[in-house]
Amino acid sequence: MKKFLGILFIILIFASMAFSAEKTILISTTTSVENSGLLSYILPHFEKKTGIKVYVVARGTGAAIEMGKRGDADLVFVHAKELELEAVKQGYFVNRHDVCYNDFIVVGPKSDPAKIKGMQKVSEAFRKIAKTGSIVVSRADKSGTHIKELKIWETTGINPKGQKWYLEAGQGMEKTLRIANEKRAYTLTDRGTWLAVKDRLEELSLLFEGDPVLFNQYGVMAVNPQRHKHVKYKEAMQFINWLISKEGQSLIGSFKDKNGNQLFVPNAK
Q: What domains are there in the chain, each with its CATH number?
A: 2-101+217-266 (3.40.190.10), 102-214 (3.40.190.10)
Q: What is the pLDDT of residues 205-257, one digit of tens each?
A: 999 999 999 999 999 999 999 999 999 999 999 999 999 999 999 999 999 98
pLDDT of 19 > 50? The answer is: no
Residue 267 · residue 100 · CB < 8 Å:
yes
pLDDT of 4 > 70? The answer is: no
Lowest-pLDDT choice from 35-39, 107-111, 162-166, 216-220? 35-39
Res 20: pLDDT: 47
Res 30: pLDDT: 92
pLDDT of 17 > 70? The answer is: no
pLDDT of 22 > 50? The answer is: yes
Q: For residue 206, with 0-12 CB atoms within 10 Å meaning exposed, 13-18 middle and 19 or more buried, which class applies?
A: middle
pLDDT of 124 > 70? The answer is: yes
Choose among 165, 155, 162, 212: nearest CA to 187: 165
pLDDT of 158 > 70? The answer is: yes
The residues near 131 (Cβ < 8 Å, ≥ 6 apart) are 114
Element (H, E) at 203: none
Q: What is the pLDDT of residues 27-63, one digit of tens each?
A: 999 988 888 899 999 999 999 999 999 999 999 999 9
Res 258: pLDDT: 86
What is the rounded distance in angstroms from the CA atom of residue 243 to the CA atom of residue 25?
A: 14
Res 34: pLDDT: 87
Residue 10 · residue 57 · CB < 8 Å:
yes
